[in-house]
Amino acid sequence: MNSSNPEGVQVSVQIANSRASKKLTPAKDGLLGRYNVSKANLLNDNYRQVDLAFTLNIDINDKEKDNVFGFMIDRQGNLNKKKNEYYKPDPALCNEENLRKARNREMGDHKTYSLRIQLYLNNEANCLYIKYPENTLRLLKVNRETLVIEQWEISVTDQNGYFFLNQQCVYRWQILCNDESITSRAKELANWPAMTRLIEKVLGLGQWMANQTLITENTERPVEPEVLDFGPDTGTTEWFNEARGFGKIKTNQGLIVNAHWSKIILAGNRSKRFLETGSLVRIKGLELHETRSSNHLQAVGINQVS
């Protein structure tokens, strides 16, 4: 999974309360800082909302503005297309033309999406946290020449009171067409009709989809790497989603186990706990993780070694 910037897209982030706001400069690993708020700053005692929030601003340049589309996903998995925010010129660059565009709510040379991310107080851990999926703005990026479509996730996450900006390409699909019925080779799209409809819409396929086929191949999933057998405590990262702080590891015994950011050991000069897809990991052990709906094995003491 790619964690660099999507081409033609610039991301900035601010933190603000009811009195002031500040633009943040992320560190190389996305670190935004550590923030603490006392109970006196609670806005809603029942929901533990505090007077502090991040704002993601995503600016798409003129070349890519017709190829990038923002959307959100709610807790039920419903896809909601994000409305384009009108162009807001930099005050330092304001001239009569830019001010006219802002007053008339016209699009300038850029498309802009914005997302406010509320912070909450965790009383037990005495730190602030962010909820998923409201911490994530997703982008569908289309290459109309090659018909390659990428899904990016731009998010802010928390790890023990430290907050990080993440930019990750989570899916990459190659679109193919023929003259049969509509099918899909990518299991993500086969079980995601709302995304298929969005892809059809942004590619302008609606007028002729009845006579054509939308076939997709997910080219993002890598070929399963050869696992070096360093012993029973090793495995390979199948995938890791930074917005969720969660992924899967395949052990040398063939088990597929959960990987949570809180179980990852920091190494070197890293300040963010995450795993790279395809990386070799050592694990100290497995524990049974119980949820309301099912039980899963979870890796503990995870250390990425390659």
Q: According to the model, what pLDDT value does residue 6 have? A: 87
**What residues pair up with 206 in beta bridges, in sequence order?**
none
Q: Are residues 58 and 86 both part of a single domain?
A: yes
**What residues pair up with 136 in beta bridges, in sequence order?**
155
What pTM did the predictor assign? 0.81
Q: According to the model, what pLDDT value does residue 302 have? A: 95
Q: Is there a domain that residue 223 lies in? A: no
What SS3 class is residue 92? helix
CB 108 within 8 A of CB 99: no
Q: Are residues 126 and 194 both part of a single domain?
A: no
CB 35 within 8 A of CB 161: yes
Q: Are residues 13 and 66 both part of a single domain?
A: yes
Write out the E strands in the chain: 9-16, 21-24, 31-34, 42-44, 49-60, 68-73, 79-81, 111-122, 127-129, 136-143, 148-159, 162-176, 215-218, 234-241, 246-251, 256-260, 280-282, 285-290, 295-300, 303-304
How many structural domains comprise the chain?
3
CB 172 within 8 A of CB 219: yes
Q: Are residues 70 and 40 both part of a single domain?
A: yes
Q: Are residues 161 and 15 both part of a single domain?
A: yes
Q: Is there a domain that residue 224 lies in? A: no
CA angle at 148 for the pair 12 and 278, rounded to the nearest 5°: 75
Q: Is there a domain that residue 130 lies in? A: yes
Q: Is there a domain that residue 46 lies in? A: yes
CB 171 within 8 A of CB 217: no
Of 157, 186, 218, the one marking the end of a domain is 218
Of 172, 190, 205, the one marking the end of a domain is 172
Of 218, 247, 282, the one marking the end of a domain is 218
Q: Are residues 57 and 37 both part of a single domain?
A: yes
Residue 300: C-alpha distances to residues 247, 256, 280, 282 (Å): 13, 14, 15, 10
Q: Are residues 203 and 81 both part of a single domain?
A: no
Q: Is there a domain that residue 111 lies in? A: yes
In the block, which residue shows the tokens 């094995």? 297
- Domain ranges, residue 186: 178-218
Q: Are residues 164 and 28 both part of a single domain?
A: yes
Residue 209 dihedral angles phi and psi, to the nearest 5°: -65, -25
Q: Are residues 161 and 274 both part of a single domain?
A: no
Q: Is there a domain that residue 226 lies in? A: no
Q: Are residues 291 and 247 both part of a single domain?
A: yes
Residue 247's CATH number = 2.40.50.140
Q: Are residues 26 and 77 both part of a single domain?
A: yes
Q: According to the model, what pLDDT value does residue 275 have? A: 94
Query: Tens-of-pLDDT digits for all 306 residues of the chain?
Result: 456 778 899 999 999 998 999 999 999 999 999 988 766 588 877 778 999 999 999 999 888 988 999 999 888 878 888 877 654 545 544 555 555 444 444 445 568 999 999 999 988 878 899 999 999 999 999 888 887 889 999 999 999 999 999 999 998 888 776 544 334 456 667 778 888 888 877 777 654 443 344 444 454 444 343 434 444 588 999 999 999 999 999 998 888 999 999 999 988 778 899 999 999 999 998 888 777 667 788 999 999 987
Q: Are residues 30 and 162 both part of a single domain?
A: yes
Closest CA to 274 of 234, 233, 240, 238: 240
